[in-house]
Structure 1
Amino acid sequence: MKRSNFSEAQIIKILGSQEAGRSVSEICREHGISQGTFYNWKSKYSGMDLSQLKQMKEMEKELAQYKKIVAELTLQNTVLKDVIGKKALGPAEKRELVGYAHQEFKLSLRQACMLFHMSTSVYYYRPRRRDDSEIIEQLSGLAELYKTWGFWLMYKRLRKLHYMWNHKRVYRVYTSMRLNLRNKRKKRLPVRVKAPLLCPLGPNITWSLDFMHDTLACGRKIRTLNIIDDFSREALGIVVDSGLPARRVIRELEMLVSWRGKPEKIRSDNGPEFISAAMEEWCVENSIEWEFTQPGKPTQNSLVEHFNRTFRHDVLDRDMFDSVAELRTYANAWAWMYNNVRPHSALGYLTPTEFLLKYGKLCEFPTLQQDNNNKWDWNSLVLGVAS
């Protein structure tokens, strides 16, 4: 018989037969082994029984496990010392260190991932870039038409155009195109007592008026009279001229009332045109309450002040105009865009027209919507082409 056919338990049993009084030659002849093999077994297993043999095997197994653990820890410590100067913060850096440890120190990928606290699924993941060409095209078009719009206005506009991209994906493309507008830091102001501005419950309850000043390319000064409805933030009219006395303001208000209807209240500052006797007489005749803000407190008429800032940012500060007629054309086109295209955060990113439709209170605006014979489209106007 071959030696490989004897188990350790059989070897101990054979050695025990000698202790029972049998000769070595007889035992070797019976089992077909040489005396050298017998004495080798005796030097290794002499004096042991099966329980001791089992205990020795368990100790050898534990010792092998300990040696393996020590070897792995030593190798991991060596790897960490080698890459101690390389910070692994993101998945890409960790993936690079895992590959380095696998190639240089022959660590398995599983061990290397555990060493750098990285999931194996993250290591094997390969990102697949989506095609963002359509997003880039749409954002480029909006940025060309509406140079003062920020990210959220563009994103809400894309949603209205039925592009249902996730806002995080659009923002990633938006920032990669470097379309971010510069943030102006707000000045630190002392704590003030804030008086709430009551918003009306429907259209034609409260209108807000205010004047703005600007200069043409030739140096000629012009004024604009901005009129909005506080309920829907709708631009009711932008009157542009070199001078707007009280009689002209009354005439514009009468034209507005003739198709829009009479408001219950009008709010404005204490400008000379608003506090004139002619204006007071007109309010009494039409039973309209005129509310004046306190001097030095424009926040009491903050809705029209916000409208003024948007109008100046989008139109007056954006281009230099050569004539009153040119500015009047741009102002009318911009007012139509403001009412029908531009989303408003205060209205839940609806346009004033959509907001009125939502509440079933839409009023037609013939000056800016129905004059098809002499109407400028805002998109074409910005691109320099009349529709």
Structure 2
Amino acid sequence: MKPSIKDKVEIAKKYINQGYSVSFVLKIVKLGKSTYYYNLSVEGKEKIKPKGGKPKGYSINKENKIICDGQIKEFIMESINGDAINYGYRKITYHLRKYYNLIINHKKIYRLCKELNILKNQRVIKPKIKRTIAINRIISASNQLWEMDIKYGYIHGEDKFFYLLNLIDIFDRCIVGYYIGLHCEAKDAAALLRQCLIKRNLFEEEAEKPIIRTDNGPQFVSYKFSKCCDEIKVEHERIPVKTPNKNAHVESFHRILEDECLKINEFQTYAEAYETVNEFMEFYNNRRLHSSLKFMSPNEFYNLYFGEKQTNIKMRV
């Protein structure tokens, strides 16, 4: 086995320290002078790992709680739809620190704003999306008003987040459809909306479509989602900034999902999370009783009152 350069340097050092000529020893061990002296100069010095690397995918708030990048993007979109409408990424950084208690620097905000395509010098070329503010409505039947929102789950074994995009019918409380994945974009929200309309036989042009209510997340303010709503003739309304009570039914479902599924399971893999969430969704729609539904499950209530407008059951939302 041929000796390595390190072995040759050690052998050369041994004989040179005994008084032999450097040139003679290096010639015998077949080692160049530059190689020998370079190895002497770096000997004992640890290599410093370069800074940087792949972003973690989350930040910490002042309560030491992990906030994933997807949630931070929602905070950014809420901010620029509210008080921070004319702010650049540096001012947005201070806004998030002050009002959302995030521990975050301007470089990360710049990266997230770039991913959202909302850096200030780019806003002038971004297509303007018509914004319809959510108004108070009285709902008396299924398929009149649907709410859509995103919930984040955490996979401990892989140290990453996954997305749960849920669409709920606020009258019968059914989760009409949901999307689960490691990424969630406008195209996924558009695809879910189409699937839910098909599932309830509302995709045909002459069918009376429900109103879709969302918050101001990047998936819902995008041109792609707005274009999808226009194509399938669905009215899309967005709640005012910082008014989650306007999306109360889907937010209530997310609390149930958190307490009865996500909090009590420590997922090791994405496959495990996917299977567990699917099982919970099946349980919620078909077997979980709701006091607001006369102690029936959502699907049972929907099938019982399918297509009927109720005079004794009305909801103001």
TM-score scaled by length of structure 1: 0.41
Which structure carries more relative contact order (alpha carbon 8 Å, separation 6+)?
2
Q: Computing the radius of gyration over CA atoms, which structure comes out larger, 1 or 2?
A: 1
Question: Where is the strand percentage greater, Structure 1 or Structure 2?
Answer: 2
TM-score scaled by length of structure 2: 0.50
